[in-house]
Amino acid sequence: AQSVTQPDIHITVSEGASLELRCNYSYGATPYLFWYVQSPGQGLQLLLKYFSGDTLVQGIKGFEAEFKRSQSSFNLRKPSVHWSDAAEYFCAVGNNNNDMRFGAGTRLTVKP
Amino acid sequence: NAGVMQNPRHLVRRRGQEARLRCSPMKGHSHVYWYRQLPEEGLKFMVYLQKENIIDESGMPKERFSAEFPKEGPSILRIQQVVRGDSAAYFCASSQTQEVYNSPLHFGNGTRLTVT
């Protein structure tokens, strides 16, 4: 069965600084990988996804993620964080039938 | 273009009462998923339904919890005889097809259940 680990429960960065959120997955076959963002009191919004092809994927709001098979990782990055990026971020792994498993999430705080 | 609609947004129940959570998927979506989010935890899969069928309920507790997605109307997650441990945010998601490649999940804003 697939599983996801997000090692960092909480990260604080200064506005304008770069960001990297870590995600490690466990899955026997080629995974489908996702990053979602959740603002307080809201549902989850899809940031980006990886199925195949180019291992560097671009998403919305200036986010990107890189799939590294050798490290079983799918880390999320943003070169310059904005205050509005403060939220909780979830990594998820699935197969092709929408059977998805989510990580516990990383809460991002942005300092002025 | 309404997204996934969940109601109520907040629900307070006393121990032993029943909780009914409703989810209307996006227009054109016939696949519905329910997830539970406990404080400081990620989303835990509960159940996957298509119209009139439960496809996967491997994440549902064996007792007190049930789900349906009738031919007409919203999907319902029903919790009987609620206990304090049921307090959580319950999220519904929908997709157009079963294949994530073609149709990623779209989430509602959740129902926050508080059991007093």
CA angle B31, A2, A10 (to 5 degrees): 95
Predicted local distance difference test score (pLDDT) of residue A62: 96
Predicted local distance difference test score (pLDDT) of residue A94: 82
Predicted local distance difference test score (pLDDT) of residue B91: 94
Predicted local distance difference test score (pLDDT) of residue B35: 94
How many angstroms away from the CA of A92 is the closest CA of chain B? 10
Instruction: Say if residue B14's pLDDT is above 90.
Output: yes
Instruction: Say if residue B15's pLDDT is above 90.
Output: yes
Which of B37, B56, B100 is the best residue to mutate to test the A interface, defined by the most A CB atoms within 10 Å of its own CB? B100
Spell out which residues of chain B touch residue A103, defining contact as CB-CB under 8 Å.
42
Share of chain B above pLDDT 70, in %: 96
Predicted local distance difference test score (pLDDT) of residue A40: 85
The Cα–Cα gap between A44 and B33 comes to 13
Pick the residue from chain A with its C-alpha nearest to B5: A43
| B45 touching chain A per CB within 8 A | yes
The Cα–Cα gap between B29 and B109 comes to 17
Predicted local distance difference test score (pLDDT) of residue A96: 64
The Cα–Cα gap between A20 and B88 comes to 29
Instruction: Say if residue B92's pLDDT is above 90.
Output: yes
Predicted local distance difference test score (pLDDT) of residue A97: 65
The Cα–Cα gap between A95 and A31 comes to 6
Query: What DSSP assignment string belongs to A35-60?
Result: EEEE-TTS-EEEEEEE-SS-SEEE-G
CB contact under 8 A, A105 and B95: no
Average pLDDT, stretch B25-32?
92
Predicted local distance difference test score (pLDDT) of residue B102: 65
Closest Cβ opposite residue A98 in set B98, B108, B110: B98
Closest Cβ opposite residue A103 in set B42, B95, B109: B42
Q: Are A106 and A88 in contact (CB under 8 A)?
A: yes
Instruction: Say if residue B2's pLDDT is above 90.
Output: no
β-pairing, A44-50 with A32-38?
Answer: antiparallel
Predicted local distance difference test score (pLDDT) of residue B63: 95
Which of A33, A98, A100 is the best residue to mutate to test the B interface, defined by the most B CB atoms within 10 Å of its own CB? A98
Q: Are B64 and B81 in contact (CB under 8 A)?
A: yes
Q: In the structure, how many helices (H) and strands (E) does chain A have?
A: 0, 12
Predicted local distance difference test score (pLDDT) of residue B98: 73
Q: Measuring CA to CA, how many Å separate A73 from each of A20, A38, A92, B23, B83?
A: 12, 21, 11, 33, 38
CB contact under 8 A, A103 and B108: no
Q: In the structure, how many helices (H) and strands (E) does chain B have?
A: 0, 11
How many angstroms away from the CA of A79 is the closest CA of chain B? 25
pLDDT band, very low/low/confident/very high, at B19 (cuts 50, 70, 90)? very high
| B18 touching chain A per CB within 8 A | no
Residue B86: how many other CB atoms lie within 10 Å: 20
Instruction: Say if residue B18's pLDDT is above 90.
Output: yes
Share of chain B above pLDDT 90, in %: 71
pLDDT < 50 positions in chain A: none
How many angstroms away from the CA of B22 is the closest CA of chain A? 15
pLDDT band, very low/low/confident/very high, at B105 (cuts 50, 70, 90)? confident
The Cα–Cα gap between A95 and A32 comes to 6
Q: Among A33, A43, A104, A16, which Cα is nearest to A68's?
A: A33
pLDDT band, very low/low/confident/very high, at B100 (cuts 50, 70, 90)? low
Q: Among B96, B63, B99, which Cα is nearest to B82's?
A: B63
Predicted local distance difference test score (pLDDT) of residue B48: 92
